[in-house]
Amino acid sequence: MTRKAKKEPHEKLLVIACGMIAREVLAVKSQLGLDHLELTCLPAEFHFYPDRIAPAMDEAIAKAKGEGYDRIFVGYADCGTGGGLDIICQKHGVERMDGPHCFAFYQGTAQFMASGEADMLAFYMTDFLCRQFDAFFIRPLGLDRHPELIPDYFGNYEKLIYLAQTDDPALDEVAEGAAKLLGLTYERRSTGYGDLTPSLAHQAGMTK
């Protein structure tokens, strides 16, 4: 079991997060007035290379501790590491976000688990993935040059679910366009920051 560090209000807290949620962590920090929260991120592209997350986190935590940070929170769920990230958290005595991935904690992990069967064939998008749709999906997969490959990559999905952290018509347009391009039915869920807000509040000493 991970050793939980004692939380004192306004004691400096370092969050080492996935680059895909950096904007959201900073938004929660601003909303809650967490001036004592500091953020550093691992590359967002690790979303596609989950085997790199645990080793990189191991190095990042060790570096942070060497720089004098006593309280560290891991801004990742398991994120495809197959328990590897939990081993690193246990090694260093730190905690991480609950749940299997950000698509779960944005919705609320309990809600995600409850709707798991219905969403089994869903392709998820977030605000970040809407902003980076071309850079993260279209160009790396070569779909800008070979759109005929879309069924090969996305043919097993039935719907695209946009988990919206904010109300931004431009992002809505991207998500709807992505669903049309990929040949998927479209659903928008306004989630806000989900479990990220209470988790950061707890780690920052605002709640018990």
The enclosing domain of 48 has a CATH number of: 3.40.50
Contact between 202 and 31 (Cβ < 8 Å) = no
Question: Which band of pLDDT confidence, cut at 50, 70 and 90, is reported for residue 6?
Answer: very low
* 63, 132: one domain: no
Highest mean pLDDT among 6-20, 106-120, 147-161: 147-161
The number of folded domains in the chain is: 2
Q: What percent of the chain has pLDDT over 70?
A: 95
Single pTM value for the model:
0.90
* 113, 169: one domain: yes
Is the pLDDT at 65 greater than 50? The verdict is yes
The DSSP 8-state label assigned to residue 50 in this structure reads: G
* 128, 89: one domain: no
Is the pLDDT at 193 greater than 80? The verdict is yes
What CA–CA distance (Å, rounded) separates 114 from 99?
A: 13
* 134, 121: one domain: yes
* 90, 47: one domain: yes
The DSSP 8-state label assigned to residue 129 in this structure reads: H
Is the pLDDT at 4 greater than 80? The verdict is no
pLDDT tens profile 136-179: 999 999 999 999 999 999 999 999 999 999 999 999 999 999 99
Is the pLDDT at 191 greater than 90? The verdict is yes
Is the pLDDT at 42 greater than 80? The verdict is yes
Q: What is the mean pLDDT of residues 58-65?
A: 98
The DSSP 8-state label assigned to residue 3 in this structure reads: P
* 59, 134: one domain: no
Please choose, from the candidates 91, 90, 92, 110, the residue with its C-alpha nearest in 3D space to the C-alpha of residue 100.
Answer: 110
Expressed as residue numbers, the domain containing 115 is 109-190
